[in-house]
Structure 1
């Protein structure tokens, strides 16, 4: 791999694998209001949020970390404005105190916050409008969860992102390929990935253990651990699900995300860790397998887009299948087969927002990835023409991306309609 490609792949890895607290969408809302309150210079007396349908879908039912059990957009917005620390970005609520929670609860009871659907085609879009007396501030986030593109105070523009210098993250992702990912994993210097992968292992293991030890959400991880026994496949599904249980249940522990999602970050890492422990894999091989798993998920997500009706757990499960196959000694054709076998099985899972059932979708997707791994190691794969399976792994990834980004566009809208009650049930 040449130096330019190497630097590009490493840059993607470092940009994608960052720590975050709680569900990313309500945290992004909290980040926006924390920044708006900072610009305003004082705690606002009114807050209005306008955001894209996908933000509403993912933030509507999610528990807000460090909130004492509060849920949803309004809770995230008010808590961010009251006690958020902008410098911590996706960990913006880490330093929230008991006094902040008490103040936020009182302001929510007074009804100072409202939200509405923004008229935008952007998947990730948040406008935070805050006011106090005659003064106001507006912060706009677009494209990624912390990408502030516009800031106003008292109607005057303080910042407006007119252009992006250098190569965008989207352009970097476009250069990914399964073959390139495997080549990078083989040659990457350990000193270049030790910190970023090590942090993912440490943080995601901690929240997974938290989910196994305490009754978060629907307790999918705990239930699977008890019901399915102690096989390595059962543990892999349970550990991934348990991390999501805790995260969706409002646990304040941070996770290292993938493709902007904590659930995807947990999914893409925990099963690989479980298999590495079972097989007593050396640390260096584990780190390289996690590079494969993480970058495969990012590669899939590029074609689908940031938020959609397509469940991101499937993208991460493809990463899991690829990472475990690589760690076992599989070659390019076998890693490709693991990805194809996963997509050919669970490619149709929908995303209906962030909530406790995400853990169950993760368990199902990881289970499919493990099946895909075993099939691939026996050189068995779904063939071109089997449904959405194309001539090779890259074409299959693109085909699934097309379905997720274009084909499920209307599905995404209808899911939002059902979730928000904006639908006609007269279909009997």
Structure 2
């Protein structure tokens, strides 16, 4: 693929849009970002706060620790952190710099001010509406479709921003069209690209995500899935790939204040797409540039798999990233298009349907299972084994199977998503 090819430029731009830093689970951080921005526009600390959130936002914020809050969880904590200590110009690192005094101030604000949470009206999957009031003044701000997409701002009856209506799973116009992505095109791009076009952003992903994975192994975070795997299964690279990715998630879900580079709006997916590939690259002693290529391959495959599903779903996003990581590992071991395509199909057939029941420590175990399926998918192909079209949701051709996965995650699991939210909220 030539740099002058429109697809080449699209792929570069997609990576720039997706590989961004975030500290903490991205859904509560999106609330903190919106709250910080709204407070900035209001010009003072609000006396009351109303947060209207779609079911998937409620699901993903309910059980995860908001970083830099001394262990607080939930929508109220995320909003308070953004209001009291947030820096909106830092976007998804909005609460990366919080002093000890500000941590106490967040708790005080929660104790002394009214923060009301309600389900958002309508069917938009990703929807956050914040209304901050002080005296007779108010600011209403809406984020929809993805984490940093502010689509509406009004102050005291004056419209400051209106970015148009939102619709479920619509590819927001501010993002590059993902329809040019294909397994064949992604592989062509990775094998022919100028490494320097992606070097800075992928090297940052390798650095950040390796650091939080190591912190997860070294510390006591969540359910310590990484340490459990290493203790009971040994130190083989197949185990390390699962353990390190799980450890990064455990740390992140439990309030670790290290940043990650996200993929498809998710830090867990960013970790899963990169860390297993990094472990295999170390084991195989490949060049640094080849590692960059492999991580880029995994990132783009993850994005491709997730495009049809949507940003938030009942379908666990770690599955997409784990299957993509398995395919990048296959490439590191000399695999070509056929190897990668069959690895994807084999692994997707194995773990598609794992549910997303919000952000919390069990995400780490799901990541371990997804990476294991990705590695197994490659080992199956190496031994001449595969799943065939007609085997369940598998159909002939990797792109057709990917479309089936998108249909399953976006359409088929919609009612499952609603039931999960009802179970989690006790309704």
Instruction: Using structure 1 for the length normalisation, give the TM-score.
Output: 0.96
Q: Secondary structure at the match of 1:295?
A: helix
Q: Secondary structure at the match of 1:173?
A: coil
Q: Provide runs of 4+ in structure 1 moved above 4 Å.
A: none
1:362-417 deviation line (CA, Å, top 9, x unaligned): 00111111111111233422111111101110000000110110000000000000
In the alignment, which of 95, 98, 102 is matched to residue 97 of structure 2? Answer: 95
1:59-93 deviation line (CA, Å, top 9, x unaligned): 01110011111111100001100110000000000
**Counterpart mapping for 1:348-387 below 5 A:** 348-387=353-392
Conserved 8 A contact 2:342-2:381: yes
Residue 279 of structure 1: CA displacement?
A: 0.6
Q: Secondary structure at the match of 2:198?
A: helix
Higher mean displacement: 371-380 or 179-188: 371-380
In the alignment, which of 73, 76, 80 is matched to residue 74 of structure 1? Answer: 76
Q: Secondary structure at the match of 2:177?
A: helix
Q: What is the CA–CA distance in structure 2 between the aligned matches of 1:116 and 1:378, rounded to whole Å?
A: 53
**Counterpart mapping for 1:10-21 below 5 A:** 10-21=12-23
The reply to whether residue 37 of structure 1 matches residue 39 of structure 2 is yes
The reply to whether residue 225 of structure 1 matches residue 230 of structure 2 is yes
Structure 2 counterpart of 1:308: 313
Q: What is the CA–CA distance in structure 2 between the aligned matches of 1:168 and 1:391, rounded to whole Å?
A: 32
Q: Secondary structure at the match of 2:178?
A: helix
1:192-219 deviation line (CA, Å, top 9, x unaligned): 1110110000000010011111111111
Structure 2 counterpart of 1:189: 194
Q: What is the CA–CA distance in structure 2 between the aligned matches of 1:60 and 1:8, rounded to whole Å?
A: 35
Structure 2 counterpart of 1:389: 394
1:139-176 deviation line (CA, Å, top 9, x unaligned): 10011101101111112111111399x99366621110
Are residues 167 and 156 of structure 1, via their aligned partners in 2, closer, same or farther at CA, if it must alter by over 3 Å? closer
1:297-328 deviation line (CA, Å, top 9, x unaligned): 00000010110000001000121111111111
Structure 1 counterpart of 2:221: 216
**Counterpart mapping for 1:294-305 below 5 A:** 294-305=299-310
- Superposed CA RMSD: 1.4
1:80-124 deviation line (CA, Å, top 9, x unaligned): 001100000000001222222111101212352111100121111
Unaligned runs of 5+ in 2: none
In the alignment, which of 57, 64, 67 is matched to residue 65 of structure 1? Answer: 67
Structure 2 counterpart of 1:252: 257
1:219-247 deviation line (CA, Å, top 9, x unaligned): 11111121111100110000000000000
Q: What is the CA–CA distance in structure 2 between the aligned matches of 1:180 and 1:368, rounded to whole Å?
A: 24
Q: Secondary structure at the match of 1:387?
A: coil
Conserved 8 A contact 2:49-2:133: yes
Structure 1 counterpart of 2:85: 83
Instruction: Using structure 2 for the length normalisation, give the TM-score.
Output: 0.96
Structure 1 counterpart of 2:178: 173
Q: Secondary structure at the match of 2:138?
A: strand
**Counterpart mapping for 1:262-301 below 5 A:** 262-301=267-306
1:32-53 deviation line (CA, Å, top 9, x unaligned): 1001100000111111100111
Q: What is the CA–CA distance in structure 1 between the aligned matches of 2:65 and 2:192, rounded to whole Å?
A: 41
Q: What is the CA–CA distance in structure 2 between the aligned matches of 1:145 and 1:244, rounded to whole Å?
A: 19
In the alignment, which of 322, 325, 337 is matched to residue 327 of structure 2? Answer: 322
Conserved 8 A contact 2:22-2:262: yes
Conserved 8 A contact 2:345-2:394: yes
Number of equivalenced pairs: 421
Q: What is the CA–CA distance in structure 2 between the aligned matches of 1:420 and 1:224, rounded to whole Å?
A: 31
Q: Secondary structure at the match of 1:358?
A: helix
Q: What is the CA–CA distance in structure 1 between the aligned matches of 2:45 and 2:174, rounded to whole Å?
A: 34
Conserved 8 A contact 2:23-2:96: yes
Structure 2 counterpart of 1:426: none
1:329-349 deviation line (CA, Å, top 9, x unaligned): 111111000000111100110
